[in-house]
Chain A
Amino acid sequence: MKVIVPIKQVPETSNVKMDPVTGTMVRDGVEPIINPLDLYAIEEGVRLKEQNDGEILALSMGPPKAMTAIKEAIAMGCDDGILLSNKAFAGADTWATSYVLSQAIKKMGEFDLVLCGERATDGDTGQVGPGIAAWLDIPFSTYISKIIEVKKKSIVIERMVETGYEILEIETPCLLTVVKEINYPRLPSLRGKQRARKMENQTWGPVDVDAKPENLGLKGSPTQVVKISKPQVTRNGQLLKPHDEKEIEGAVDRLIDFLKEKEIV
């Protein structure tokens, strides 16, 4: 079984600091990491390889430093990885990104499965996975919480939706995006890290993937970011600061009165 896992390097966003003046992200001291939701895709790919033999390859698009993400994926158990890096790719939206990734996948030879994280934690779109499938014209499914059975020409999967779980059977080759219910990602092993360090870096540009120049980067992107601003969420509510038991009781009474006012109780 051959599995390709497209991953993204993102800034660690759970503790992001914003510059209050410019409204931009303070990048100093922010570690680039593999998109946390991609780790589930890598883990699932490595497990499938362990159970069914075959090959698992990581693929990413980004600046040269994103090679560290490829190396980390190899350390987690991927056999190899390719980085798509070139000035022409810069500024791509999800349309242009999924185009380049799909071109690269076509160049990587026959495969059974493309496994993606559900979305990246920086852009938060979840659009690149389905986008790749559309470019490749392969069947796809999203929000996969379990791979139930791998058959010769299909895979039985569980898809998490708002009201429950769909059990689906999808023909291969196909693309799946996975949610974090699917597994617990392993940490990179020491041996994996050593192997990753020794491996030769593979970087591809537009010519390597036969990409049409007009579909690339900022110029090839249908959507344009025209403004970045700071979200305003402040409401001016009443705030009680009770100091002893009696005041706490008073505060809870006022809370109940507030709920009555709002016709909730």
Chain B
Amino acid sequence: MSYKDVWILGEQEEGQVKLVSYELLKRGRALADKLGVDLIAIILGKKIGKNGIRELIYRGADKIIIVEDPALEFFLPEPYVNTIEDLVNKYKPEIFIASATTTGRTVAPALAIKCNAGLTADCTGLDIEDRTGNLIQTRPAIGGNILATIKTPNHRPQMATVRPHSNKPLESDSLRTAEVIYETVDPVRLKSRVKRLEFKKNEEEGGNIQDAEIIIAGGKGFKKDDNFKMVHDIAAILNGAVGATRDAVDLGWATYPHQIGLSGKTVSPKLYIAAGISGSVQHLAGIKTSETIIAINNDPEAQIFHVADFGIVGDLFEILPLFKQKLQALKKGQETEEIQGA
């Protein structure tokens, strides 16, 4: 049996299918269409919610393979890697894409060894080579200074991870249908030498920056810890999340979960406001898929202005307080309108 079809590794939390799964479907759909093969979503968990399964179909899957078992409730490397390895050996996909989440980046490299497959991390572009049908993978390397194009001509499946939130999902299409297959796995393969004892949820304000629609981020330009509060103030008014550069995190102004860039998170919000950020290649690599970028910096030569849709060259200590004041006034005006309207 030869290798065929494009697979994406779906992710779930408490049975709910996560956004990254739908993002991967869009990537996978383009590849499957070009190859003229099926796009298959696989998902592991204790019990996968019906809504999520339906949404996987609506957002591009031709087939869904589900493995449900209490041992798969939470991500643990061995049961996940073993289960997926068995599925790969049974169905033989030619392409396997996972999200570059903490789960994807843990499963995929171990799976690549077990399946004797090539794996490319953190791809920003995926395409099919015309003549050969090989997967063409593009990824940044050396701190985002170069883009490398990589292929895996002689090994199958061709594996890649894709940065979470580096693209949006397809629109949901309720006319789509798909086959749903429930698979079982040998209990021996579900044994884990790692046990989950407890989970401590992040209780930070603004939530996960990767899910945020609006992010306001600060860098070295804030000069000191106290000033960084301005970022939080504006984020609160815009109902957005707080981001930070590596420098700001290293200086202790923000915590690591807020770090944006190659060594932190990749974000793809509707609006990204960069204040006091010069725009190192590493930082830009983490924000370039944002829909709109606004930059405020006192250096007219700052790299950040090259990627900005709207920029102001000037002192952020003059601009931000004024911006905050005007935003507050605007919000207040809008609230009054709503009350009067009601």
Contacts and interface: CB of A to CB of B under 8 A. Distances in A.
> Chain A contact residues (Cβ within 8 angstroms of B): what range?
35 or more
Contacts of B256: 179-181
Nearest to A265: B330
B310 to A, nearest CB: 5
B200 A230 contact: no
A124 B121 contact: yes
B142 A134 contact: no
Contacts of B208: 162-163
A95 B331 CA distance: 54
A226 B149 contact: yes
A94 B105 CA distance: 13
Contact of B262 (A124, A165, A181): A124
A248 B319 contact: yes
Contacts of A121: 143, 263
A93 interface: yes
Interface in A219-265: 221-231, 233-235, 237-242, 245, 248-249, 251-253, 255-256, 258-259, 262, 264-265
B251 interface: no
B151 A230 contact: no
A133 interface: yes
A258 B142 CA distance: 35
Nearest to A229: B147
A141 B103 CA distance: 10
Contacts of A18: 145-146
Given A131-B109, A134-B113, A169-B195, A233 B306 contact: yes
B193 A174 contact: yes
A130 B141 CA distance: 20
Contact of B293 (A14, A174, A237): A237
B294 interface: yes
A165 B204 CA distance: 13
B314 A251 contact: yes
Interface string A32-54: 00000000000000000000000
A121 B105 CA distance: 16
Interface centre among A223, A234, A235 (most CB of B within 10 A): A223
Contacts of B280: 14
Interface of A: 11, 13-14, 16, 18, 23-25, 93-95, 98-99, 121-131, 133-135, 139-143, 156, 159-171, 174, 179-181, 221-231, 233-235, 237-242, 245, 248-249, 251-253, 255-256, 258-259, 262, 264-265
Interface of B: 13, 74, 77-78, 81, 101-103, 105-106, 108-114, 116-122, 136, 140-155, 192-202, 208, 210, 214, 238, 256, 262-263, 270-271, 280-282, 284-285, 288, 292-294, 300, 305-314, 318-319, 322-323, 326-327, 330-331
17 contacts: A16-B145, A18-B146, A131-B113, A134-B110, A134-B111, A134-B112, A134-B114, A167-B197, A168-B194, A169-B197, A223-B150, A226-B136, A226-B151, A228-B149, A231-B140, A265-B238, A265-B327
